Amino acid sequence: MRRLFLKFPFFSFDAWEEVFKNLWNYRMRAGLTAFGVFWGVMMLAILQGVGKGLETGTMRLFGGLAVNSVWMWGGKTSMAYGGMQPGRRIVPTFDDLLAVKEFVPEVRHVSPQTGMRSEYNVHYLDRNGNFVIHGMLPEFTHIQAVNVVKGRFLNPIDVNERRKVCVIGLQTAEILFHKENPIGKYLKINGIPFLVVGLMKARKIGVASEQENQRIYLPYTTMDATFNLGNKVYFFGAAAHKGVSGTKLSEKLRRFMAKRHHFHPDDPQAVGIENTETDYNNLNGLFAALRIFTFVVGTGTLLAGMVGVSNVMLISVKERTREIGVKKALGARNGYIISLILMEALCITFIAGYLGLAAGFAAVEGISALNLESDYFADARVDLWTTAAAVGALTLSGVTAGYLPARHAAAIDPIQALRYE
């Protein structure tokens, strides 16, 4: 067994005791090197956690939007076309949407999102408030996800029969119904009763969630007939078939609307278009760059750790030349000497890396505990496996960095070492 310990000191308590004693003897250098490793790993964990929070929060702004969706609204022409002067108001209509669904093959789903503002008073019993009311079709859920927590969303029968039904937001329910279950009860919009069939909760956070939670959704056909919208939708969304890009869909819709409303297809102000796919790709590119930056920082941490550990081990070997010579004169093998040096490098990198990882986790958890969530920041967290892999790689790098000094120690001539002062 003793021979095994001499050959593999990793299994020897005495060897580990000697390692920690040596580290204590040059604790200032070892401590500074370990602190560099600790700080690098901690900052890597914090950077990763905060970056993840930024990515999660920003991506939530999409609120379940279909990536290949397009939103369009009316504008005012800025170019003369077909004998007509610029300055004409272009307003999309419900008939436009029906034509889009029939004649634009790239479109899979289309729905208006026609809003009425606070001039429409909403009340239930003696409670009232002003809420934004939207008219839409059931297909809206394929363009932007709706989180229905009770009841149901609008269906085709509601649209075809112009039923006076509605889906309300969570905050709308709290204001009007307090703790009552709103499903199956009637609220009144400008004195007209609407049956509540669904309760929805915002998928977004921050200010955006407050706005969404105060909405009321009606079937567009009901809203048009009841409040005399004149077939106008003003604002609508469309989702493309799989494999069709948002850019292509945007161009198709612009040209289709130009033909129906007689404006120049290249007129930039006749209609407004927002391409979700472009925004999504831009953000993905931004966060890909952030991940690359984090990787570069991690790589820098590894290199700095390797250099620091290698330097401190070289100094240690130089100062212990006589001691190493004595060990070799007493029969210590090269493998034993190399193992001792590597064990010291392992201690510095692993312990410092582990403490840095723990500190990074604690810092990110502290940030989360402060409840700093906003429209652009949410759910900050550290990827355990990625960061643990970084610590593992750092530890391996530290051991690798210690190998050169270890080989130098093993190559020391015992006779010369004994003469070393």
At residue 407, the pLDDT reads 67
Same domain for 189 and 266: yes
Same domain for 204 and 80: yes
Same domain for 102 and 39: no
Q: Which two tokens stand for residue 38?
A: 């600790």
Same domain for 28 and 98: no
Same domain for 201 and 297: no
Asked if residue 269 lies in contact with residue 76, where contact means CB atoms within 8 angstroms, the answer is: yes
User: What separation in angstroms does the CA of 224 have from each of 98, 152, 158, 172, 212?
Assistant: 15, 22, 13, 22, 21
Same domain for 286 and 273: no
Asked if residue 171 lies in contact with residue 214, where contact means CB atoms within 8 angstroms, the answer is: yes
Same domain for 203 and 152: yes
User: What separation in angstroms does the CA of 27 have from each of 21, 35, 93, 348?
Assistant: 9, 11, 77, 11
Buried b (16+ CB within 10 A) or exposed e, 341-354: bbbbbbbbbbebbb
Low-confidence ranges of the chain (pLDDT < 70): 1-19, 22-23, 55-67, 116-119, 203-209, 283, 298, 302, 305, 313-338, 368-388, 390-391, 394-395, 397-399, 401-421
Could you read off the pLDDT of 244-259 as tens digits, one per residue? 888 888 899 999 999 9
Q: Which two tokens stand for residue 118?
A: 């606070």
Same domain for 100 and 10: no
At residue 19, the pLDDT reads 67
User: In terms of Cα–Cα distance, which of 35, 208, 236, 279 is closest to 143?
Assistant: 236
Same domain for 381 and 297: yes
Same domain for 312 and 261: no
At residue 114, the pLDDT reads 84
At residue 221, the pLDDT reads 94
Cα(76)–Cα(268) distance, integer angstroms:
9
Q: Which two tokens stand for residue 404?
A: 């050169």
Tokens 């070799």 label which residue?
A: 328
Same domain for 160 and 266: yes
Cα(397)–Cα(401) distance, integer angstroms:
6
Give this prediction's pTM: 0.63
Same domain for 314 and 227: no
Domain end, chosen from 217, 243, 277, is at 277
At residue 401, the pLDDT reads 66
- Structurally, how many domains does the chain consist of? 2
Domain end, chosen from 277, 307, 333, is at 277
- Quote the domain boundaries for residue 395: 2-61+282-419
* 3-state helix/strand/coil string of 77-100: CCCCECCECCCCECCCEHHHHHHH
User: In terms of Cα–Cα distance, which of 312, 361, 407, 355 is closest to 30?
Assistant: 312
Domain end, chosen from 248, 277, 306, is at 277
Number of neighbouring beta carbons within 10 Å of residue 68: 24
Q: Which residues pair with 167 in a beta bridge?
A: 198, 217
* 3-state helix/strand/coil string of 300-319: HHHHHHHHHHHHHHHHHHHH
Spell out the residues 6+ positions from residue 421 whose beta carbon is closer than 8 angstroms to its own. Answer: 322
